[in-house]
Structure 1
Amino acid sequence: MKPLRALAAALAGLFVLLPAVAGAIEIREITTPLGIKAWLVEDKSTPIVALSFSFSGGTATDPAGQAGITDLMAGLLTDGAGSMDAQAFRQRQEDAAASLGFNASLDRLTGSLRVLSANRDEGFELLRLALTEPRFAPDMVNQRRAQTIASINQAAQRPGSVAGRTLMETLFAGHAYAADPDGTPAGLAAATPDLLKKRAAELLLRNGLIVSAVGDIGEAELARQIDRSFGLLPTGTPPTLPPQWVPPTRPRVVVVERPVPQSSALMALPGIERDDPLWYAALVMNHVLGGGGQQSRLFNEVREKRGLAYSVSSGLRTYKRAALLLMSTGSANERIAEALQVIRAEMGRMRNDGVTEAELTDAKTYLTGALALSLDSSASIAGLLHSMQIDGLSPDHLTRRAALIAAVTLDDVRKVARHLLRDDALTTVVVGKPVGVTQEP
């Protein structure tokens, strides 16, 4: 059996473990001999080890004049390392049935490793090489840069992408979160191999490192492998994060003209921090409003009753220095104004009346069970542990989560709805040729 086919077969076996796994996960905290802390869920039922990790500092800390360098650097970490060029490094991953990758978000540089447990020495060695001996070869830098610039240009032609970028630029004007994580052609052009090496040295530090692991590996072996892969990194001081975002205090509508038959629209409000006591009330409220798919109010009112849009939804988004409540939809240019009006009306209804007892019960039932259904692989569980660490949650949070959701009351939802769903803080971006929607600076 080919190595990657073996990996796929092993991953498929993980599906039989769920959904009961969410309530049965035992998270162990370990500290390696070098002092690196990690979370581990040991599972010997399948021969897989999955690692999820990240470093403090993301694209929001890109140096001046180098917009996009962090994202570009992240992609290049696996484009050759040590004595291996990009092709040789990819082949070595293939031979080891390992999958290694890096990404950059606004706040963190993230990575993941999946490998068959029989090949874990090789998988962790590849991780060590990527972290400590990346090549940043000029030919690969030029190739990745060209790909990124092409992606930026393509995104500028898609109404949905334009709406997303415009919303971030509008909401976070004057803040580092306003910048496109992919960067700009000028910033990318400035990213020389030497500057990329410098950026990697600024971010790849043991201070601010978060690590989680799931799979067929014990505590002592994981500690050994973590020290092997990350132990040569310096401690250092991570880049300073941007200041806390100051939300807008007045409504705003931004219209971006595009010659398309359907307008894309995004609406945003200041959200709620992950450690807020009303977080789970906000989660319930959002589920009823637009996060619950076909069961949500927005879906029922905008699509089912009026046929104004194919899709409409809402969601909570958190960053290190900001939080948002987002709503999105798309409609024919002639009907987008009505769709936005219906969304605002539903916001008002939720703000004034909250949710019904039946909606509260249904939302709690769904939110309690949905997490288990999403944990369909060792990688997804490792990602969950990693997210919990970033959010500052304790390892026993999974055992308390159902009780926290169950404790949400009707009054809690009304309270958080009145706090969040404020017309005076609503920012709306519409991209297309909308009829009846005018810019409000």
Structure 2
Amino acid sequence: MSRLLRALAALVVAVLVLPAAAGAVDIKAVTTPLGIKAWLVQDKSAPAVSLAFSFVGGTASDPAGQLGVTTLMATLLTDGAGTLTSQAFRQRQEDAAASVGFSASLDRLGGSLRVLSANREEGFELLRLALTQPRFDTDMIEQRRAQTIAAINQANQRPASVAARTLMETEFAGHPYANNPDGTPDDLRKLTQQTIKQRAAALLIRNGLIVAAVGDIEEADFARLLDSAFGSLPAGTPPALPPEWRPPTKPRTVVVERPVPQSTALMALPGIARDDPDWYAALVMNHILGGGGQQSRLFTEVREKRGLAYGASSSLRVYKRAALLVMSTASANERVAEALRVVKAELARLRVDGPTEQELADAKTYLAGALALSLDSSGAIAGLLHSMQVDNLAPDHLTKRAALIAAVKLDDVRRLARRLLRDEALTTVVVGKPVGVTADPL
């Protein structure tokens, strides 16, 4: 993948300096004879093809009383298909040097295929079988159900998992995003083979399908194989989107007691949508606040200057109907209250004073080049092309990204910080036995 990675790096990092690099990577918008649309980047530097795709409808649209059905169904799609049992399906993948997988997010049911170019016919055939003839054998349903329930129970014992789940339940109270994507043990036990088949039929449709591919394959061959794998799926009607989210209007602190020496803390604020005009200002602001690793303000103030934690960070989370800015840290029970005060102080400082010119310049330099560093495989590149389509970005977005980041001004970040970093919207979750942290009443 070296030639493709170098070309993408040129696009992402140096397109403004070297305009000719814009032609180094050709994203082809392919439409198959059956009308399936996809993006393709041809690359002959490695004899492989990577596919990333997704369907509308994720765990947030799980029917009432069937929480976890989408995640369980996604796991079962490769546990046997057609005449192949689970073991036989795995063996066929190994024989073809192919890997087919599925997963569920809050908003979409995703999948992937990676296969050697020489075995692409077999790889796409295995994908077709998983999509159109999943077996959902009762023994595999019971096995996966038991594994999922065990995983839920184990997660309930891990402070970090408890904090993450509690944050979602608190921030999205009354909204489908509050539900555990893995479901609940009670709902999982009620799922039948029929309900799982019905869920697959509801989601595995062509309307809303997004596909991206990278690899050693000709456009016509790619179109033919797409029709073979996806063409027999019904057009269908995608599930309705979740309702719009109404962010909290007052601060809240939630404490979940656990007998551990260190408390895990998460803090969240309403974030920013991917299509917001201030998106790139948000990337810069987040990098300065806590997304920039050891160079960020949170890491510097919480760990380097005070030694309150091993780390402190922030991240942007974007969903179809909501967005969050999440800060995280973990500290000894006796010191976590101080760590939280420092995080809040840094939010206030960035809101009031904004970043420095040097912080702005450093953040923009890093963000302009960081994307290329993450593209270390054809699967990663296919995933990027897929996410661009999910975000309704055009194929030429990579040629514009560096300029969009470079255009962010100090006033843009200051304005956005005043807009987002509001104490009255802050949700705090602490899991452990924190000293000096008081939970707000329900």
TM-score, normalisation: structure 2: 0.96
Q: What are the equivalent positions in structure 2 for 1:160-199 lying under 5 Å apart?
A: 160-199=160-199
2:4 and 2:25 in contact (8 A); partners too: no
Q: Which residue matches 1:428?
A: 428
The AA in structure 2 aligned to 1:18 is L
Q: Which residue matches 2:126?
A: 126
Q: State the Cα distance separating 1:28 from its structure 2 match.
A: 1.1
Cα separation, 2, equivalents of 1:332 and 1:420: 29
SS of alignment partner, residue 38 of structure 2:
strand
Q: Which runs of 4 or more aligned residues in structure 1 lie more than 6 Å from their structure 2 counterparts after TM superposition?
A: none
Q: Does 2:21 match 1:21?
A: no
Cα separation, 2, equivalents of 1:346 and 1:392: 33
Cα separation, 2, equivalents of 1:425 and 1:437: 18
Q: State the Cα distance separating 1:21 from its structure 2 match.
A: 2.1
Q: What are the equivalent positions in structure 2 for 1:124-273 lying under 5 Å apart?
A: 124-273=124-273
Cα separation, 1, equivalents of 2:170 and 2:267: 11
2:79 and 2:85 in contact (8 A); partners too: yes
Q: State the Cα distance separating 1:127 from its structure 2 match.
A: 0.2
Cα separation, 1, equivalents of 2:4 and 2:221: 24
The AA in structure 1 aligned to 2:170 is T
Q: Which residue matches 2:81?
A: 81
Q: Which whole-Å deviations, capped at 9, do the CAs of 1:82-108 have from their partners, x for residues lacking one?
A: 000000000000000001100000000
RMSD of aligned alpha carbons = 0.8
Q: What are the equivalent positions in structure 2 for 1:405-420 lying under 5 Å apart?
A: 405-420=405-420
Q: Which residue matches 2:391?
A: 391
1:19 and 1:375 in contact (8 A); partners too: no
Q: Paired residues, what number? A: 428
Q: Which residue matches 1:290?
A: 290
Q: State the Cα distance separating 1:191 from its structure 2 match.
A: 1.4
Question: Percent identity between the aligned chains?
Answer: 75
Q: State the Cα distance separating 1:342 from its structure 2 match.
A: 0.3
Q: Which whole-Å deviations, capped at 9, do the CAs of 1:276-305 have from their partners, x for residues lacking one?
A: 010000100000000000000100000000
1:250 and 1:424 in contact (8 A); partners too: yes
Cα separation, 2, equivalents of 1:419 and 1:16: 42
SS of alignment partner, residue 78 of structure 1:
coil
Q: Which residue matches 2:60?
A: 60
Q: Which residue matches 2:321?
A: 321
2:3 and 2:45 in contact (8 A); partners too: no
Q: State the Cα distance separating 1:29 from its structure 2 match.
A: 0.6
Q: Which residue matches 1:5?
A: none
Cα separation, 1, equivalents of 2:431 and 2:248: 21
Q: State the Cα distance separating 1:230 from its structure 2 match.
A: 0.2
Cα separation, 1, equivalents of 2:29 and 2:210: 12
The AA in structure 2 aligned to 1:87 is Q
Q: Which residue matches 2:15?
A: none
Q: State the Cα distance separating 1:15 from its structure 2 match.
A: 4.7
The AA in structure 2 aligned to 1:154 is Q
Q: Does 2:17 match 1:30?
A: no
1:56 and 1:109 in contact (8 A); partners too: yes
Q: Which residue matches 2:17?
A: none
Cα separation, 2, equivalents of 1:351 and 1:20: 38
2:250 and 2:425 in contact (8 A); partners too: yes
Stretches of structure 1 lacking an aligned partner (at least 5 in a row): 1-13
TM-score, normalisation: structure 1: 0.96
The AA in structure 2 aligned to 1:372 is A
Q: Which residue matches 2:440?
A: 440
Cα separation, 2, equivalents of 1:257 and 1:70: 31
Q: State the Cα distance separating 1:18 from its structure 2 match.
A: 3.0
Q: Which residue matches 1:8?
A: none
The AA in structure 1 aligned to 2:209 is L
Cα separation, 2, equivalents of 1:440 and 1:181: 26
